[in-house]
Amino acid sequence: MEEDPVPNMEDEDDEDELDWLQEQEVFVSRESPAERSGHIAVTDGSCMFIWGGYKNADIEAAEFTDLYLPKNEIWIYNMETGRWRMKRSEGDVPNSMSGSCGSCVDGVLYLFGGHQARGNTNLVYRLPLRASVLRWEKMSDLTGLAPTCKDKLGCWVYRNQLAYFGGYGYIAQPGHRGTFALDENSFMGNHAGRGWNNHIHILDLETAAWSQPITKGDAPSPRAAHACASIGNRGYVFGGRYMDHRLNDLYCINMDTWEWSEMCVPQHGPVGRSWHSFTPVSADHLFLFGGFTTDRETLSDAWLYCVGKNEWKPFKHEHTERPRLWHTACLGPDGEVFVFGGCANNLLSHQQAAHTNELLLFTVQPKSLVRLCFDVAVLHQKRLEHMWDVLPKALLLRLKQRTVADS
């Protein structure tokens, strides 16, 4: 499996599922999200939405104990004003989980899979993010062969379809296309057998039906805790864990023909890793940050992959002293990558996990002219404010939000 730590085990190399996570939740009144790992994050407009994950227990205990975050809390970060707010959701609220897969399509969050206190799930939920009341809906009438119950998978969004790839979960029943590799260690503690897979399952949002494509080419090996990103009709997957190895291979699949291609990059690139992030930042570039190596090192390096040139380039940044694994990364409206949460140390050691709620900002492309004008207007507010009322209402509202946030 990929990285499910178990405390106080005699053999540190043994890794099992997150059954040690307590089912009760932590309710704390606060102005920003609690520290966490294994959560999801999606964007809609200028807002980033955070759900789920787990954290260290706040109480002193003889053994390290971790708790899931409250299942009904949705944390919203306004990427223009830099402010957090929390909204409580209702309806068919999913169980508290880690390792789920979240995607946003036309203002709706789709949540699949994950690991809860009772094991893995393959349920799908939707949450309209633009509604005044956040109400979860369980998608219980889906047809077709659903994926196995699993977590730590990836997803590509294309043409109103969600294509899920890989993950770690229960033994695949007959009928699933692809490879399943059993993890012999998963039987420890009388647990159901689990393992890695390289399955692709497509959820068509118009027909509410599952399907599996017939792929061509050499598919990636089974894996979990990899990272997926899509640009147009191309879906990319980098790294992840398979057996005892954390990989540094890069694959691309054409989502019109479903043909796999391995991107054999000629020069030196990122080391093998799992629990990293991989974010499209332009029509030709993907941004890689952080992760966890085979030698159990938590990483803080960043890379840009250029699709057109098929090359990796190290990306210099100011967060080299802030390693992260099992964090999230989202592209903002002005070309900045927002990395939230994650763990800053070895999550599989016998030390307490260093979960964080810190937000790291990476500027991966020049600011737009609109953004530069806003920055200047805010900087020289006293001299320019008397002229702001002649601006279009939408620009005036954004400018006032910025000035309130900066005051």
For 197-246, the pLDDT digits (tens) are 999 999 999 999 999 999 999 999 999 999 999 999 999 999 999 999 99
Q: Where are the domains of the chain?
A: 370-406
At residue 10, does pLDDT exceed 50? no
The mean-pLDDT minimum among 27-41, 142-156, 304-318, 357-371 falls in 27-41
Across 60-69, 97-106, 371-380, the highest mean pLDDT is recorded for 97-106
End-to-end CA distance of the chain: 48
At residue 9, does pLDDT exceed 70? no
Structure tokens at 359: 């937000």
Tell me the backbone φ, ψ of residue 67, rounded to 5 degrees: -130, 145
Rounded to the nearest integer, the mean pLDDT of the chain is: 89
The pTM assigned to this predicted structure is 0.89
Q: What is the mean pLDDT of the segment spanning 112-131? A: 96
Q: What is the mean pLDDT of the segment spanning 363-372? A: 87
Instruction: Give the residue carrying structure tokens 């002293």.
Output: 321
Using pLDDT thresholds of 50, 70 and 90, give the confidence band for residue 62: very low
Using pLDDT thresholds of 50, 70 and 90, give the confidence band for residue 272: very high
The sign of the CA dihedral 369, 375, 379, 383 is positive
* HEC letters along 274-313: ECCEEEECCCCEEEEEEEECCCCCEEEEEEEEECCCCEEE
For 278-289, the pLDDT digits (tens) are 999 999 999 999
pLDDT higher for 15 or 46? Answer: 46
Cα 32 to the center of its chain, rounded Å: 19
CB atoms within 10 A of CB 309: 11
